[in-house]
Structure 1
Amino acid sequence: MEAEETSSEPSVIAMRISTMIVLVNLATMDAMNPRLSSNSVEFQAINCRKYLTLLTEFDNVSDGVTSNTHAFRQAIEHLSTLAADDGAQLVVPPGKWLTRSFNLTSHFTLFIEKEATILASHNESEWPLVKVLPSYGRRRDARGGRYNSLVFGTNLTNVVITCNNDTIDGQRSYWWDKFHKGELNVTRPYMIKIMYSDQIQISDLTLINSPWFVHPVYSRNVIIQGLTILAPVTVPNTDGIDPDSYSNTRIEDCYIVSGDDCIAIKSGWDEYGIKFGMLIEDLVIRHLTCISPDSASIALGSEMSGEIRNVRIENVTAINTESAVRIKTARERGGFVKDIFVQRMFLSMMKYVFWIAEDYKDHANDKFDPSALPEIKNINYRDVVAENVTMLTNLAGISGDSFTDICVSNVKIGLLKKSKKLQWNCIEIEGFSSDVDPPPCASLAKAAKSIGGDFREDPLLIENVQLKSCSVEISPLS
């Protein structure tokens, strides 16, 4: 098991309110008191906490220049001694708090107050190197190492990262400049990475300017909701959310602007993903808005060798985005992507509506199995409206390995005047269709026996999880 060690960009327009601080110290407070005063802020969480403390108990300098790393680590270490007794919460009050990587603890909430910003240090020497992920076999940018994430946790239970819609700023123009110049010897860090954990909530945050953003991996029972993620659309590999090799997860009500996939679903790379053998399954994504001119609103792969199964995607709006839901694979990947159910998409200014690609030839090393064929099966799209589309479909299977049971129904596509002459490119694809305009390619022209009959509607267990109303006591500065 891997254990990690700590060690013009988009603007965010937010409503300004009067400065507030949390009137708590290391003394205990019952956060579950239903009687809220006029100075209380209420928020939703998987669990409320008994013990609260303020970051300023450990450091009161919040100028965005002075490092607050020691304060974060001291505060979380202190709260870890209390967390087993009904949980503990660290409140980050208004100010600009500069830090490098820090670790979370179990039964813990990190709450970022209104007008508070956590800033990632851009001093490369302050970022510790960490081990490779076992399902990938090497670092993604470079073979020389991988930096730890800004907010990190491993082997945790019952963790919440949330706020009043304020900000974590990756300050990552440094990394982007080095990436463009080909000067990176170490893979860039994520903003938030949670590993080998259970019962995780990441919600109501604005995340800006990070090489990659949110990466829950090897975990289960994860809720991600209400995130605003902003990165320049000209910078590659700025994935918004990368759900990876875990189960029972919901991602909802997110707005993402990215130079790469808004959401990328993954499960391991080539022989490493096959050997590690942890699939991603039982995932629901809903109410997503995406802008990504050079990539997908939701991608499955290309690292999918550990397998992807039972993904529900619904109510997606994609504007000025290269493709809607894209499956990426290759002959040498192995594994499968199956039982994918996509419904209710509105798309505008798209290059492709439906895209399945088999040409992802990038490998961790030369030890992959060239005969490892991926299985792509039971991919369902329905209730899709798109406008200003360049090319409706690019569906490419593998010779001798057809992708089967591709089902498309109730689809209306409006094409650009300068659209491609070939609208349905279908190679090694088998499937069905119903009520599709423009009419589909011959390999999808067969009418389904029961369109929608096999479309999964039963709720996943994570959809039944109800968040609790928690509160933080606040008061205006005098």
Structure 2
Amino acid sequence: MQDIYNFPAEIAPIEAPFAMAQLRKPEFPAHTFDIRDFGAVEGGKIKNTEVFKKAIFAATQAGGGTVLVPRGKWLTGPIHLDDQINLHLTEGAEVLFSQDIADYLPAVYCRHEGINCYKYSPFIYANGKTNIAITGRGVLNGQGKPWWDLTTQEKAPGELLRAMADQDVPVEERVFIDDQNGRLRPAFIQPIGCRNILIEGVTILYGAFWTITPTYCENIIVRGVKIMTEGEYGHTPNGDGINPSSCKNVLIEYCYFDTGDDCIAIKSGRDKDGIKTGRPSENMVIRYCRGDRGHGGIVIGSEMSGGVRNVYAHDCIFQGTDRALRIKAARERGGYVKDLWFRNITADRIVHEAIMISMKYTADGFSGFRKGDQPPWFGNYHFYNITCHQAAGNLIKIDGLEEQPVENLHFEKINLTGEQGIAIANAKNVTFKDLTIRTQQTPAVNIDPGEAIKFEGEVKFTTD
């Protein structure tokens, strides 16, 4: 495992088990626009929203460049990036985002939990832009507590949004910023429909909702980023780390997570809206990352109705997360999750399952048991050299559907220790090769039902 805090300046070649472009950092014109030259006031008390707008506009008029945030505390509302803009935070710089919810109006086009809509502006936003970056060793501080109060009010607007999507209500009418439809929290960083994106080196603290969620984007590099949404300031509800949604060609490397939800979660749309949009997440490499807290280390789903394919994760460590690796979908969600590779993953102090594959995920306790006419398809997964030193739940749990089993899984060089062993339901063509399992409870393996489940090579089961 390489040091995530001293990541190399250059990106090493991507070596994936599928065809994928070699990603390169976007380049920017050699113009620098210091926010102080546009009237920025340091101290974290006076809003500099218009200052950031002016600096970005000036850079855009010059053909692009670097908008420089120097040392100090700088308060602002939302920042909207434009083509060829690199927002660079000098070490010692801290951008504090306004706690006045009205500052994030007017509403902008977003995707909320896999459904297209209009809601409050993300803290950093871009729509349809090319060559954008957020770089440097500074801090982006969301100060998200005022937004967290909306969490208890989001059930009704969330259900309304899903109903609107199911009824094909035009996206322009799905607006969630007031008492009429309710309010939905914004993401911290959400480029949408953008190309050539770099987020590098910054520390991101305590937003309103998901932290980094590029949506409908291509060619994305996130490296050397530290994300904290769980800690001294509090617990960010739904405080996921990095959630690419319907994106292509993504590299996530040398990132650190201490999150109130999933560390990394790959998405592609929810239910009818995701199926109708039909944009998969594909060609993604995750390497040299570490998660110390979070619901899941590397997660795919549950919003995956547009499909997910070609994901390769290697050389990552998760310790203290609920699960290390998790692939999940609701029973009626449609879409597919296929062609996944996990290699050299180490886990410890896992709260539930070390590896969880479930097609019955539900947040309400019921939908996982309702049969739909569009079950998802899960298959072609490869797990190699996976180690877990301790898990409190099943070491591996595979939960397919009676009407659509999980298919074609290969586990090799697996060494896991925990309370419970392997549980398989509704899966076929599953191979375990060179497997070591140490459990506190018996049986070490429970298959009910399964088809063509094979154990090959050196297989050891130990019960303490």
Q: Of 104, 124, 148, which aligns to 2:81? A: 104
Given residue 246 of structure 2, which amino acid in structure 1 is its aligned partner?
A: S
- Aligned residues with identical type, % of pairs: 28
Equivalent residues of 1:331, 1:371 under 8 A apart: no
1:230 aligns with 2:228: yes
Partner-residue secondary structure (3-state), 1:79: helix
CA distance in 2, matches of 1:382, 1:408: 6
> Are the counterparts in 1 of residues 275 and 305 from structure 2 also a CA contact under 8 Å?
yes
2:56 aligns with one of 76, 80, 103? 76
Contact 1:245/1:267, CA 8 A, preserved across alignment: yes
Larger RCO, structures 1/2 (Cα 8 Å, 6+ apart): 1
- State how 1:110-259 maps to structure 2 within 5 Å: 110-128=87-105, 129-133=107-111, 136-137=114-115, 146-163=119-136, 165-179=137-151, 185-210=182-207, 211-232=209-230, 234-259=235-260
Deviation at 1:68, TM superposition (A): 0.1
Structure that is richer in helix per residue: 2
C-alpha distance in structure 2 between counterparts of 1:286 and 1:338, whole Å: 19
Once the two structures are TM-superposed, the CA of residue 335 in structure 1 deviates from its matched residue by: 0.6
Q: Which residue of 2 aligns with 1:403?
A: 406
Length, aligned pairs only: 389
- Residue deviations 1:76-111, cap 9 Å, x none? 11111112xxx4111111111111112111112111
Q: Which runs of 5+ in 1 are unaligned?
A: 1-13, 15-43, 140-144, 450-478
CA contact 1:228–1:255 (8 Å) conserved in 2: yes
Partner of 1:433: 432
State the AA in 1 paired with 2:70: P
Distance 1:318 1:135 in 2: 24
Q: Deviations over 1:41-65 (max 9, x none)?
A: xxx9531422111100112411101
Change (3 A) 1:230 1:321: same
In the alignment, the residues of structure 2 paired with residue 376 and residue 70 of structure 1 have an alpha-carbon distance, to the nearest angstrom, of 48
For the pair 1:269 / 2:242, whether they are aligned, the reply is: no
Local SS of the residue matching 1:389: coil
RMSD after superposition: 2.5
Give the whole-Å Cα distance in 2 for the aligned partners of 1:124 and 1:48.
33
User: In the alignment, which residue of structure 2 is the partner of 1:51?
Assistant: 31
- Give per-residue Cα distances to partners, 1:343-392, cap 9 Å, x unaligned: 101100112111012223469xx9x9920011101011110111121221
CA gap of 1:103–1:409, structure 2 versus 1, over 3 A, is same
In the aligned structure 2, how far is the partner of 1:218 from the partner of 1:362? 25
TM-score by length of 1: 0.77
Q: Which residue of 1 aligns with 2:282?
A: 281
Instruction: Tell me, in whole angstroms, the C-alpha distance in 1 between the residues paired with 2:125 and 2:69.
Output: 17
Report 1:289-304 matches (<5 A): 289-293=290-294, 295-304=295-304
Residue 34 of structure 1 is matched in structure 2 by none
In the alignment, the residues of structure 1 paired with residue 340 and residue 456 of structure 2 have an alpha-carbon distance, to the nearest angstrom, of 16
Change (3 A) 1:369 1:106: farther
- Mapped pair 1:95 → 2:93: no
Deviations 1:105-125 (A, max 9, x none): 111211111211111100011
Residue 334 of structure 2 is aligned to residue 334 of structure 1: yes
Change (3 A) 1:134 1:345: closer
* Aligned-residue offset at 1:306: 0.1
Three-state SS of the structure 2 residue aligned to 1:74 is helix
What letter matches 2:222 in structure 1?
I
Deviation digits for residues 275-308 of structure 1 (CA, Å, limit 9, x no counterpart):
1010010000011101225x10011010000000
CA contact (8 A) 1:134 1:276 kept: no
The aligned residue for residue 18 of structure 2 is none
Aligned to 1:463: none
Matched AA of 2:243: D
Distance 1:275 1:240, change over 3 A: same
TM-score (norm 2): 0.79
User: In 2, Cα distance between the equivalents of 1:400 and 1:386?
Assistant: 31
Task: Indicate how the Cα distance of structure 1 residues 45 and 182 shifts in structure 2: closer, same or farther if over 3 A, else same.
Answer: closer
- The 8 Å contact of residues 134 and 272 in structure 1, kept in 2 or not, is answered as no
1:120-175, Cα deviation, whole Å (9 max, x unpaired): 10001111123453994466xxxxx6211111111111112101x21000001222
Partner of 1:284: helix, strand, or coil? strand
Q: How far 1:448 sits from its partner (Å)?
A: 7.0
Match of 2:239, SS? coil
2: CA distance, partners of 1:301 / 1:187? 20
For 2:245 and 2:372, the matched residues in 1 are separated by 24
Could you say if the C-alpha distance between residues 114 and 398 of structure 1 is closer, same or farther in structure 2, counting changes exceeding 3 Å?
same
